[in-house]
Amino acid sequence: MASRNNVLINRNVSSSNPSLIKYGMMLASIVLICIFLPRQARFQYEYEKGKVWMHEDLIAPYDFAILKTQAELDADKEQILGSVYPIYDNNERMLADQTDRLMAELDNKWNSSGLPDAEMSRYSLLATKILSHVYNRGIIALTSKFLQGGENYTFTLLTNNVAAQKNTADVYTRESAMGYVNSLIDGEKDLEAKDWLKGLVDNYIQPNYIYNERLTDQLVSDALSNISTTRGMVQRGELIIANGSTINNVAFQKLESLRRAYEEESRIGGNKSVVLLGHFLIVSLVISLLMVFLHLFRKDIFANNRLLSLILLVVTVMMLVLSWAIRLKLPSIYFIPFCIVPIIMRVLFDTRMALNIHLLMTLVAGFFVPNSFEFVYLQITAGMVSIYSIKTLSKREQFLISAAKILATYLVAYMGITLVRDGSLKDIGYVDFIPFIVSVLLTLLAYPLIYAFERMFGLTSDVTLMELINTNSSILRELSYKAPGTFQHSLQVANLAEAAIFKIGGDALLVRAGALYHDIGKIQNPQFFIENQTKGYNPHEGLTPEQSAQIIIAHVAKGIEIARKHQLPETITNFIRTHHGTTRVDYFYQIYVNNNPDKLVDESEFRYPGPIPFSKETAVLMMADSVEAASRSIKEPNAQNISELVDKIIDGKLKQGQIRNSNITLQEIETVREIFKNMLMSIYHVRVDYDINKEQKELLRR
């Protein structure tokens, strides 16, 4: 990946912004991070339950209260809630209102009931008696959240602002009230229309004890607010924990209480300007170390302000997200997808860059999160796994595989820390893993972010290259249809260059993509190139040497034009631009010289415009392109002929200075020679034989 960025970056170094902008971006990043980080002094000791206290004896510097544990607070809360009774309002108007409505309905329906008028008073009296009894005893609508302790619960009844405690077992529900009504009516032996009366009364049995949610919630809130969060005091000068002692539950709670008291004291009375200065020094050191790393090991990126701004943007945004999470007091800091940064850096740049940035960011974050050692350990291990898991990105599903590996790392590391800290896994529940799962799911956002950064900053990731090397892409389909010989040549060049660059240590995926597209300019006028010609027809006949040379040379410019039209990455366009360097079309040049011995020759008309290759990948492609083209002209292929041909081509490139700007060593060039020779002996193909010599065929194809 590093070499791929070199291909793009080296072309832009000269156009980078002045150093003032570079250091301005650094300062802006530092200031933004410092502004948003929590401005609070930090407790100087790190500790974990179950570990040995390695510091000096800790003496209480002042009086402070011992905070209760969460388990103790939960127990107090449960006790308080058990002592608070729900409040119900007694609707005293319910009996009179329902009785009046029932009597009115009875008068209206009596004539249609078929009962004698003499019985009306009896039915009316019985119905009134029933309503009076059930409403005086009380009808309640039970509230489910108070039934957790059993079928009944105690409640407070408000009658004219007078409170009285009752139990639901002593009052009716609507169902139990109707049970009483039915049994009472059934007990009247000579009552003729029992079912008619039951149906009539049923409509007027409604709860008159109404749950008052507002007053109940207020009562619960008042009770909870009175829960004490502390138990006991530690006096100034008292020994909190001695050196070499194990941090048990009691000592751990005292340490937590001292830390909270210290941070609260600093927040109220501390000098925030001094804290801000400390933040500035810490963040400045980290950003400076990042710049030093780039200056020493990635000068190409350090010199390019556009790519430097990308790195600082990603780092700054992640630190701002962390600050936002701390300020919002998220239930767990592990909801933050910290591994998204190393993944983006790895895909867009390289492993070394990703690991360096992740380590520096994690160190800064450790100053501001609780349980900083645990946080740093978890994030470093997960970040390393995220980087290693996409060392070679060849399939899209590797993002999912990487996410699964990151999650597994989090879970294993978290369980290990818990075992060391608590000596047991009994306190771990499924809910403890939710932050890690959410974090890993959010990490998958790296995929669209990588695409966005590619577009914004002109980078090319492995994901994009995987799409480009698909031979079903529109450009390659057009090339295979219009210039099939060139397409086959490009495939062979891709195989040669990829094998060579893989062996010497370069970006094999980039080279393969560059090789497939390096000759797309031949889509226009394909018949002028020998690999696309049919035997017996040569369109160069009738053209002057200058015209033929210009047509051959023009395929580079046309290739660049096609690449830009289809929005190919600049890294791919660089292969098109450099695969012939500044070499000369010698075949047509020699014809011109022979035909015009008395004229001065303008070599620029017969020479490619360049530039020459400026990376290991573009240099290997140039050699593979020339070697593959020349190999098709061998009449008697054998090991000696192939070896001599490869040596001649590569030595020629070296002699012409075409590879002088590439970061490739002579040792690596020797390795490339051997790979080309071995592969050509196994994948050799004979070219169409024209009535010209081998050197002329090679020059004509170029």
Scan for tokens 């295979």, then name that residue. 480
What is the rounded CA–CA span in Å between residue 524 and residue 519?
10
Scan for tokens 């160069």, then name that residue. 540
pLDDT of 422: 66
What is the rounded CA–CA span in Å between residue 309 and residue 386?
23
Strand order of the sheet with strand 162-167? Answer: 162-167, 154-159, 87-90, 209-211
pLDDT of 368: 82
- Strand-strand pairing, 87-90 and 154-159: parallel
3-state secondary structure 416-480: HHHHHHHCCCCCCCHHHHHHHHHHHHHHCCHHHHHHHHHHHHCCCCHHHHHHHCCCCCHHHHHHH
What is the rounded CA–CA span in Å between residue 702 and residue 612?
15
pLDDT of 53: 83
- Provide the CA 640 distance to its chain's centre, in angstroms: 54
Q: Would you call 363 helix, strand, or coil by DSSP?
A: helix
- Provide the CA 42 distance to its chain's centre, in angstroms: 29
List 87's β-bridge partners, or say none: 156
What is the rounded CA–CA span in Å between residue 702 and residue 698?
6
Instruction: Give the containing element (helix H, strand E) for 93.
Output: helix 93-113
pLDDT of 7: 44
Neighbours of 637 (CB within 10 A): 16
Angle at 536 between CA 531 and CA 541, to 5 degrees: 85
pLDDT of 18: 63
Task: Catalogue the E-assigned strands of 239-328.
Answer: 239-241
pLDDT of 392: 65
Dihedral pair phi/psi, residue 231, rounded to 5°: -145, 110
pLDDT of 320: 92
Q: What is the dihedral of CA 75, 80, 81, 82, to 10 degrees?
A: 90
What is the rounded CA–CA span in Å between residue 24 and residue 397?
39
Burial of 594 (0-12, 13-18, 19+ CB in 10 A): exposed
CB 305 within 8 A of CB 15: no
- Strand-strand pairing, 87-90 and 209-211: antiparallel
Per-10-residue mean pLDDT of the chain, 702 residues long, equals 47 52 91 82 71 83 85 84 87 91 85 77 88 93 80 89 90 92 86 85 92 90 85 87 85 84 65 80 93 90 89 93 86 90 90 93 86 89 91 71 92 86 69 90 90 85 85 91 92 94 90 94 88 77 84 92 91 93 85 79 83 93 92 81 91 92 92 92 54 48 49
pLDDT of 16: 42
Neighbours of 618 (CB within 10 A): 31
Angle at 631 between CA 627 and CA 632, to 5 degrees: 130
What is the rounded CA–CA span in Å between residue 570 and residue 517?
12
Angle at 663 between CA 659 and CA 666, to 5 degrees: 70
DSSP state for residue 334 in the 8-state scheme: G
pLDDT of 149: 65
Instruction: Give the containing element (helix H, strand E) for 678.
Output: helix 666-683
Give this prediction's pTM. 0.63
Contacts of 448 (CB under 8 A, 6+ apart): none
Instruction: State in Å, rounded, how far the first CA of the chain is from the last one.
Output: 30
One-letter amino acid at 336 equals I
What is the rounded CA–CA span in Å between residue 134 and residue 305?
84
CB 220 within 8 A of CB 81: yes
- Provide the CA 700 distance to its chain's centre, in angstroms: 51
Contacts of 675 (CB under 8 A, 6+ apart): 496, 499, 500, 503
Report the length, in residues, of the chain: 702
pLDDT of 328: 84
